[in-house]
Amino acid sequence: KIVYVSVLHQGDKNPEYFLNIADQDGSNERVLLRSSKPIMSPAWSADGKQIAYVSFEGDRAGIYIQNIASGVRRLVSHQPGINGAPAFSPDGKRLALVLSKTGVAKIFILDLNSGHLQQLTHGFSIDTEPAWSPDGHSIVFTSSRDGGPQIFQYYFKTRQLKRITFSGRYNARASFFPSGLALIMMHRVDDSYGIAVQNLKTASVAVLSQSGYDESPSVAPNGRMVVFAGQYKGRGVLYMVSLDGRVRIRLPAKQGAVQDPVWSPYLS
**Average pLDDT rounded to a whole number, residues 244-255:** 84
C-alpha separations of 83 from 41, 124, 210, 217 in Å: 11, 18, 30, 21
pTM for the whole structure: 0.95
**Average pLDDT rounded to a whole number, residues 184-188:** 96
CA–CA dist 63, 67 (Å, integer): 14
Reported confidence tier of residue 73, pLDDT bands at 50, 70, 90:
very high
pLDDT of residue 97: 98
CA–CA dist 41, 77 (Å, integer): 14
Reported confidence tier of residue 80, pLDDT bands at 50, 70, 90:
very high
Looking at the predicted structure, is the pLDDT value of residue 104 above 70?
yes
Looking at the predicted structure, is the pLDDT value of residue 254 above 80?
no
Mean pLDDT lowest for which of 45-49, 51-55, 58-62? Answer: 58-62
Smallest Cα–Cα separation from 55: which of 110, 94, 17? 17
Which residues are 216's β-sheet partners?
Answer: none
Which residues are 4's β-sheet partners?
Answer: 20
- Contact between 130 and 107 under an 8 Å Cβ cutoff? The reply is yes
**Please, what is the average pLDDT of the chain?**
94
Looking at the predicted structure, is the pLDDT value of residue 11 above 80?
no
Map residue 57 onto helix, strand or coil.
helix
**Average pLDDT rounded to a whole number, residues 249-254:** 83
Neighbours of 85 (CB within 10 A): 25
pLDDT of residue 268: 67
Map residue 93 onto helix, strand or coil.
coil
Looking at the predicted structure, is the pLDDT value of residue 184 above 90?
yes
**Average pLDDT rounded to a whole number, residues 70-94:** 96
Give the helix ranges, DSSP H, for the chain. Answer: none
